[in-house]
Amino acid sequence: MATHGLIEFDAVLAIARRGSFRAAALELGLSTTALSNLIGKLERRLGVRLFNRTTRSVSLTDAGQTFVDQVRPAVRVLHEAMGTARAQQDTPSGTLRINAFPTGAREVMRPLLLPFLRRYPQVHVDIVTEGRIVDIVAAGFDLGLRSANLVPSDMIAVPIGPARRFAVVATPAYFEANGKPSVPPDLLRHACLRIRLPNGALHRWQFEKHGQPVQIDVDGPITLDEASLTRIAVLDGVGIAYAMESDVREDIEAGRLVRVLEEWTPPLSPVCLYYANRRNPSAAFRAFIDMARSLAV
């Protein structure tokens, strides 16, 4: 919930960021009616309309855009100052907002997020997962979670856990009926589960051996954009999947899936938490970073 003394400014910034009164109200812990009334009072006090509103969309007016551009940095400074006062408390509390890609969120859930919540029950963690990379500061997040090679250069990064790998897998029954590929080009003769990237492009499966990269544009009966759907399809014997090792490790260990081409899938960049430099981080923020650093390798 937004700080009471800054609620009007937080409301304007949240609506501008979300493009929706309903989504902004949920973020701020207000009812949509209360948020609409709040903005209406502010607009009457300023004597200008900040938002163009229809039944289907919300957009900033020219005056609203100017207001947002001028207010956003000031509100950030004020929140940091208020956070400084709250940070004096011994027990971490409040909300941490994290933007992450879905696979990364799954990878850090057990080793980091759940132990942190058990240790600090007064902290609430709000995770938003999406494929696209966002400006975490402008979008109102405390932290981001991405592969190390995708972390912006002006951010502070904390690696978490070991290097990651892809795994090429299918069911034992599929390989018994169709044979196993021994080199990546063999995949062109198999039914493969295609992957659609967040930008809409189809993903070419990436391989490497002895420093020699290979890309395979596989074909198959289905295209998916979510790892959990891929796991369902491959376990049902639809074909061969190219998945993050962490998403199918338990299935491999249990014998439900068989891994192939392992020597062609070298380690990838580790997952990193990242954040902008802060002069006065909250107690919850400091505690979370300290726990994350304990997992760094």
**Is the per-residue pLDDT at 296 higher than 80?**
no
Q: What is the pLDDT of residue 259?
A: 97
Q: Is residue 1 predicted with pLDDT exceeding 50? A: no
Helix residue ranges per DSSP H, 62-208: 62-86, 102-108, 114-119, 172-178
pLDDT at residue 123 in the model: 93
Task: Give the pLDDT band (50/70/90) at residue 297.
Answer: low
pLDDT at 250: 94
pLDDT tens digits along 210-247 = 888 999 999 999 999 888 899 999 999 999 999 999 89
Residue 127: its pLDDT value, please? Answer: 94
Q: Summarize pLDDT for 251-288 with one digit per residue, the tens.
A: 999 999 999 999 999 888 888 999 998 777 888 999 99
d(CA 51, CA 204): 43
Q: How far, in Å, are 2, 50, 57, 160 from residue 30 at the CA level?
A: 9, 19, 19, 35
Of residues 260, 265, 262, the one with CA closest to residue 180: 260
Tell me the CA end-to-end span of the chain in Å, nearest whole number: 35
Higher pLDDT, 59 or 297: 59
Is the pTM of the predicted complex or chain greater than 0.85? Answer: no
Residues in Cβ contact with 242 at an 8 Å cutoff, skipping those fewer than 6 apart: 166, 167, 168, 192, 193, 195, 203, 205, 218
> What count of other Cβ atoms lies within 10 Å of the Cβ of residue 27?
21
Q: Average pLDDT of 99-122?
A: 91
Alpha carbons 295 and 108: distance in angstroms, whole number: 10
Q: The domain 4-86 is classified under which CATH number: 1.10.10.10, 3.40.190.10, 1.20.1630.10, 3.40.50.620?
A: 1.10.10.10
- Residue 190 burial (CB count, 10 A): 19
CATH of domain 166-264: 3.40.190.290
Residue ranges of alpha helices (H) inside 87-203 are: 102-108, 114-119, 172-178
Are 4-86 and 94-162+270-294 in the same CATH fold?
no
Q: What percent of the chain has pLDDT over 70?
A: 95
Are 131 and 102 a contacting pair, CB within 8 Å?
yes
Output the pLDDT for position 215.
Answer: 93
**What pLDDT is recorded for position 3?**
47
Q: What is the pLDDT of residues 120-129, one digit of tens each?
A: 999 999 999 9
Mean pLDDT value across residues 20-47: 92
Domain boundaries, the chain: 4-86, 94-162+270-294, 166-264
Closest CA to 265 of 195, 204, 207: 207
Q: Which CATH architecture has domain 94-162+270-294?
A: 3-Layer(aba) Sandwich (3.40)
